[in-house]
Amino acid sequence: MVGAPYLAGMAALRSGAGLVTVASTTDVIETLEQRTVELLTLRLPKDAHEAAERVEVYIKRRHVSVVAIGPGMTPEFAMLAREIVGKIDLPVVCDASSVGVFKNHLELLKKAKNDVFLTPHDGEFRTLAGFELPHSGVERQEIIQNFAEQYGVVLVAKGHPTLVAAPNGRVYANTTGSPALATAGTGDVLTGILAALVAQRVSAFQTAELAVYLHGLAGDLAEKEKTEPGVIASDVIDKIPAALQKMSRKA
Structure confidence by residue, pLDDT tens digits, 88-120:
999 999 999 999 999 999 999 999 999 999 999
pLDDT of residue 240: 98
Fold classified for 3-95+105-128+149-250: UDP-N-acetylmuramoyl-L-alanine:D-glutamate ligase (3.40.1190)
pLDDT band at 251 (very low <50, low <70, confident <90, very high): low
List, for residues 164-212, the tens digit of each pLDDT value.
999 999 999 999 999 999 999 999 999 999 999 999 987 899 999 999 9
Mean pLDDT across 12-28:
96
Under a CB-based contact definition with an 8 Å cutoff, are residues 208 and 251 in contact? Answer: no
List, for residues 32-79, the tens digit of each pLDDT value.
999 999 999 999 998 888 999 999 999 999 999 999 999 999 888 888
Domain coordinates of the chain in residue numbers?
A: 3-95+105-128+149-250
Residue in 226, 219, 228 with CA at minimum distance from that of residue 185: 219
pLDDT of residue 201: 83
pTM: 0.96
Beta strands in 46-185 (DSSP E): 67-69, 92-94, 116-118, 154-157, 163-165, 171-173
pLDDT band at 250 (very low <50, low <70, confident <90, very high): confident
pLDDT of residue 211: 98
